[in-house]
Structure 1
């Protein structure tokens, strides 16, 4: 659990310092070069890289600790999910550099990765002390449930963080903003539509979960998905991270 919490803190720190509102966050080339060093550490934590900063040192520590408690298959799954997140960071940086606005459909496809949620879901069985078979994770229904859970978490985040992002970013790309650009009307209409999309995805998850046959380990994984959806909502409503205050504006 501590490993998972520390990975969460790495992600939040990276988002604050190296992502959207940073120099690297505006330059895809710089972002790619920064992430190349991290990739080397992620693949082999004994690798020495030129930029041995706090992020590199923390990532090295996390990677060593993961290897100590997870199987090779679980480590590989985590690494793959982080690669998806890092590619999405370069994509976002390219959009900011070019002042490009993705379509709602493009954004929804990439939002699965930009929020880093799959990197956290990849640790559900590691934290739980069990290992879910790769064949079960690859099932069409299980993959669909996983994607729906990610959508629920990320779309809820887009709604909760909209006000802060709109106030602080010159290029706020999120679900309400893109719906507003597509449909026009008032921004509250776009936020309400995003909320309905979120709620519909929750309903779709519940319906599919009811029809999904699962053994004991898969049930624990699916319970983990639901805990993530509920936990994210509870945290988002209580954290000060998305609150607009005088010193944030």
Structure 2
């Protein structure tokens, strides 16, 4: 069993471990992304650079093998997903265990880039539905009868994204129980409605209302990353604990907040992109007719509101739940802190602010080969 991370001092006694973690607020690295207001988050529990580099090297070898991001692997290396996983899953230093969420994360990122966002990689809204259906089948190891199984397997081999999805889930199965793999598959495919919703916005050249964007972000979120925390750590939440509506509500709050954090760090790059990206501050600016800096401030306030709500939910659950739930909630808070630290120092998000919002033109179709107050609840 991997060693447990050291939790800072604070309240003591049974059930207070997660509550003590929520008090941790260490300073982040100096290389902050530009123009992002101070955000209310936990800090990472560890920063083992050598471990992150090892995971990143192994992850890039896998990406080359499955064929995603052809000609762009050095860009993926610079994004340093190995460091993200090292920061976000401090419950283990086992490289094979850390590669499980790393591969699943990069496979999901590749789906977003190859299928949804990047036309140079073959993204095309009119193909998205059929591609996502095939991705769901690849994740689920769909069994077709007779020669159709061979044809489906050929289609998976011919599409690097489908190959990556299948390979990532298969690797997860080597470190997780069948129940945890099923949970992870469900979390991964739960991204697909959000991806499809964005495609309709692109097809109609429409900026979504803020409420509509937030609904999308609850689906198209980091939930798959949180679904495997216990599997990576080498333990398992009982099914009735995982399915408890209170825990699911808590996770929805955490994943929405973390996704909005990604929006805040991505906004300047995406505001300049003519590929019609969608982002909370961009929706706020359009709806409220305000400047981008004002929209960023409002988005940051909403993130902070959500994080405080998450902390209150997590502390309540930790005090009443079984030991593995307390450990899992420590992992969720550590994941949120690691995610923030990765965004904060990542060159992907260190771009200069634009002078104004760029136009949102529909991307060309290209076919790939065959206020901090209140309760946000």
Pair in the same fold by TM > 0.5: yes
Please state if 1:171 is matched with 2:276: yes
Q: Who is 1:62 aligned against?
A: 168
Please state if 1:227 is matched with 2:324: no
Query: What pairs with 1:60-209 in structure 2 (closer than 5 Å)?
Result: 60-115=166-221, 117-209=222-314
**Is 141-150 or 166-175 further displaced after alignment?**
166-175
Deviations 1:90-137 (A, max 9, x none): 21112101112222112111102223x111111111101111112112
TM-score by length of 2: 0.61
Checking the alignment, whether the CA contact within 8 Å between 1:26 and 1:94 is kept in structure 2 is no
Classify 1:26/1:101 alpha carbon distance in 2 versus 1 (closer, same or farther; 3 Å): farther
Classify 1:19/1:174 alpha carbon distance in 2 versus 1 (closer, same or farther; 3 Å): same
Classify 1:242/1:15 alpha carbon distance in 2 versus 1 (closer, same or farther; 3 Å): farther
> Which structure has the larger Rg?
2
Checking the alignment, whether the CA contact within 8 Å between 2:108 and 2:165 is kept in structure 1 is no
Q: Who is 2:350 aligned against?
A: 243
Q: Shift of residue 51 of structure 1?
A: 4.7
TM-score by length of 1: 0.90
**Is 9-18 or 163-172 further displaced after alignment?**
9-18
Q: Shift of residue 209 of structure 1?
A: 2.1
Q: Who is 1:5 aligned against?
A: 102
Give the Cα–Cα distance (whole angstroms) in 2 for the partners of residues 191 and 205 of structure 1. 21
Give the Cα–Cα distance (whole angstroms) in 2 for the partners of residues 60 and 80 of structure 1. 14
Count of matched residue positions in the alignment of Structure 1 and Structure 2: 244
Give 5+ residue unaligned stretches, structure 1.
none
Aligned CA-pair RMSD: 2.1
Q: Looking at both structures, which has the greater relative contact order when contacts are Cα pairs under 8 Å and sequence separation is at least 6?
A: 2
Q: Who is 1:41 aligned against?
A: 138
Please state if 1:30 is matched with 2:127: yes
Checking the alignment, whether the CA contact within 8 Å between 1:37 and 1:49 is kept in structure 2 is no
Q: Shift of residue 148 of structure 1?
A: 1.2
Identify, as 1 or 2, the structure richer in helix. Answer: 1
Give the Cα–Cα distance (whole angstroms) in 1 for the partners of residues 178 and 279 of structure 2. 35
Q: Shift of residue 169 of structure 1?
A: 3.2
